[in-house]
Amino acid sequence: MTERRQGLLFVAPAVAVLAGVALYPILGTIWLSLHRSILVFHEHRFVGFDNWATLFEDARFWSALVTTLYFSAVAVSAELALGLLFALLLHGVFRGRGLLRAAVLVPWAIPTVVSARLWGWLFNPDHGLVARMLPGDEVNWLGTPGYALHAAIVVDVWKTTPFVALILLAGLQAIPVELGRAAALDGAGPLRILWSITLPLLRPALAVAAVFRGLDAMRVFDAVYVLTGGGPANTTETLSIYAYKTLMRSGDFGYGSTIAVATFVCVSVLAAIYLWLVVPTQEPA
């Protein structure tokens, strides 16, 4: 057998699994989105683009989209800013770096569901630490429209800033130290060095972290679903949560699939940007 054939043989199981758990279901979802499919009553008939027509007029879908975009934009910006501070700190300090790096990994290692529960307790209106530590009137964070989404953002930022920090740290460590030293000799202050040298050189790492996190934030489910269930008044309902409720709580597989495909399309746009940024550099020489 030629190496080429052997290679194909070796790759075959992985291809088969990926086709079975990724390609087939995504095509299936697109196909279902063209049906009225009420699982429990065995209603299943082709309706063409009816569901899509409904989707474009569905105010709940549009508000879920806006919620998701807002969540992603705010959360990712905060994660980048905080992650950069963490990375600079990790890069700059020598004593206690090990301790800090270990600490940074703690939120990352905690299951998302657990972190949502943990913050749910911190945000508890009666006994929560947050409500009691913040000055001013007590706010029911998880029960008040406008606040709840920001509580969810806090959870996401806490959970994923470490990941961003580690990527940025890797980026920082790739920047030659001499550049900074030379600039310092020329009389540049630390902020100036950060702004004119470090940040431009860190741009690829920042871009990767932003897109990577953006992808995750656009499909967010666990953290928000466990923290608020999409409430109050659906003000924290993201695309994934709306699709999930329609699919699994209502059992409306047709329309649920339509929302799921729409989510997929939104994520794909970001994913395309990411592939375009990253893949060319990885092609084997």
Residues 235-264 that bind other proteins (CB under 8 A): 235, 237, 239-240, 243-253, 255-257, 260-261, 263-264
Residue 140 CA to residue 275 CA, distance in Å, equals 41
Binding track over 29-58 against other proteins, x by CB under 8 A: x--x---x-xxxx-x----------x---x
Residue 263 CA to residue 257 CA, distance in Å, equals 10
Residue 107 CA to residue 251 CA, distance in Å, equals 34
- The answer to the question of residue 113 lying near other proteins (CB under 8 A) is yes
Length of the chain: 285
Q: Which stretch binds other proteins (CB under 8 A): 70-78, 94-102, 178-186, 194-202?
A: 94-102
Scan residues 117-136 and list those touching other proteins (CB under 8 A).
Answer: 117-119, 121-122, 124-127, 129, 132
Residue 100 CA to residue 93 CA, distance in Å, equals 10
- 202, 168 in Cβ contact below 8 A? yes
Among 48, 102, 135, 186, binds other proteins (CB under 8 A): 102
Q: Which stretch binds other proteins (CB under 8 A): 70-78, 87-95, 175-183, 194-202?
A: 87-95
Residue 196 or 223: the one with the smaller Cβ distance to other proteins is 223
Q: How near is the Cβ of 21 to other proteins at its closest, in Å?
A: 5
Which residues in the chain belong to E strands, given as ranges?
A: 35-38, 43-46
- The answer to the question of residue 66 lying near other proteins (CB under 8 A) is no
Paired tokens of 243: 């699709």
Q: Tally Cβ neighbours within 10 Å of residue 60.
A: 13
Binding track over 167-206 against other proteins, x by CB under 8 A: x-xxx---------------------------------x-
Among 52, 77, 143, 188, binds other proteins (CB under 8 A): 143
Of 166, 151, 139, which is closest to residue 229 (Cα–Cα)? 151
Q: How near is the Cβ of 159 to other proteins at its closest, in Å?
A: 10
Of 68, 20, 47, 23, which is closest to residue 252 (Cα–Cα)? 47
